[in-house]
Structure 1
Amino acid sequence: MSTVRQSGPVERWRRSAGTTAGGLSRVLVRGAGAAVVAVAAALLHDAHDPGVLCPLRRFTGIPCPGCGSTTVFIEAGHGNLLGAVAANPVTVVVALGLLVAPLGPGRWWWRLPNSRRNAVIWGAAALSWSWQLHRYGFLPV
């Protein structure tokens, strides 16, 4: 009995992710989707500002590491890229990483041991939280 390997959507994606044409088309689709979401978020925010969305910040006044992530997309939707970076630079870096992931530069990430990946994630969260605490005046210059 021979084993026949099935080619499902995930396997096809893995094969095409390394190719320039397949990866580039995925980057363009992701970029277009992100642009549509950013413009929609900006238009929705202009029509109705819901106020502070973060529960931690709303109830305690202290920002969380993810604070500013919605503002990143709102500012990007308005075309203010510097404002997006100022709101949460870690979110911008993660979004760009996810955008270009189909080109294959993140393969090194999956080769890292779990402990190292966790250390990077916790480090990024600590950096983001420090940025937010400074941004809202909880940390001195």
Structure 2
Amino acid sequence: MLRVAAMAVAAVGVSWIHRLHDPGVLRPWRALTGPPRPLCGGTAAFTDLVTGRPARGAQADPAALTGAIAVALAPPGPWGRWWALQPKTRARMLGTALAGSELWRLVRFGVLRV
């Protein structure tokens, strides 16, 4: 429960800062290469979620929201299901999530056409 409360406070804080000050986000990868990086849009996703636009947040970065939900619901302690998996399995799962996130972003920004 403490983990979920900390995540909620962080999300509200980031949303508040962006809403009041709009500091922008540095995007060195995108500036150098053009395509957005994996998980680009995580701040926008959480800002949209906290400000009552969950569908828009899910569209901005479904991988970041899924990861946040997984962290919030994961059993506490080092003996959770994630750590019970083989290291290669964890690496494959993370790699697949990042690749899927990047493909989503490339399609969303029009770099790839479906």
After TM superposition, the score normalised by the length of structure 1 is 0.71
Specify the alignment match of 2:87 in structure 1: 114
Tell me how far 1:56 sits from its aligned partner.
Answer: 0.8
Q: Which amino acid aligns with 2:45?
A: V
Larger Rg: 1 or 2? 1
RMSD of the alignment, in Å? 1.9
Q: Secondary structure at the match of 2:74?
A: helix
Q: Return the alpha-carbon distance in structure 1 between the equivalents of residues 85 and 96 of structure 2.
A: 15
Q: Return the alpha-carbon distance in structure 1 between the equivalents of residues 91 and 18 of structure 2.
A: 34
2:102 matches 1:129: yes
Count of residues in correspondence between the two structures: 113
Q: Which amino acid aligns with 1:66?
A: L
Tell me how far 1:117 sits from its aligned partner.
Answer: 1.2
Structure 2 vs 1, CA of residues 48 and 60 (structure 1 numbering), >3 Å: closer, same or farther?
farther
CA contact (8 A) 1:72 1:92 kept: yes
Tell me how far 1:103 sits from its aligned partner.
Answer: 6.1
Q: Which amino acid aligns with 1:132?
A: R
Give 1:32-43 correspondences, 5 Å limit: 32-43=5-16
Which ranges in structure 2 are unaligned for 5 or more consecutive residues? none
Specify the alignment match of 1:63 in structure 2: 36
CA contact (8 A) 2:46 2:65 kept: no
Tell me how far 1:107 sits from its aligned partner.
Answer: 2.9
After TM superposition, the score normalised by the length of structure 2 is 0.86
Identity of matched residues, %: 38
Q: Secondary structure at the match of 1:102?
A: coil
Q: Which amino acid aligns with 2:96?
A: G
Specify the alignment match of 1:5 in structure 2: none
Structure 2 vs 1, CA of residues 66 and 81 (structure 1 numbering), >3 Å: closer, same or farther?
same
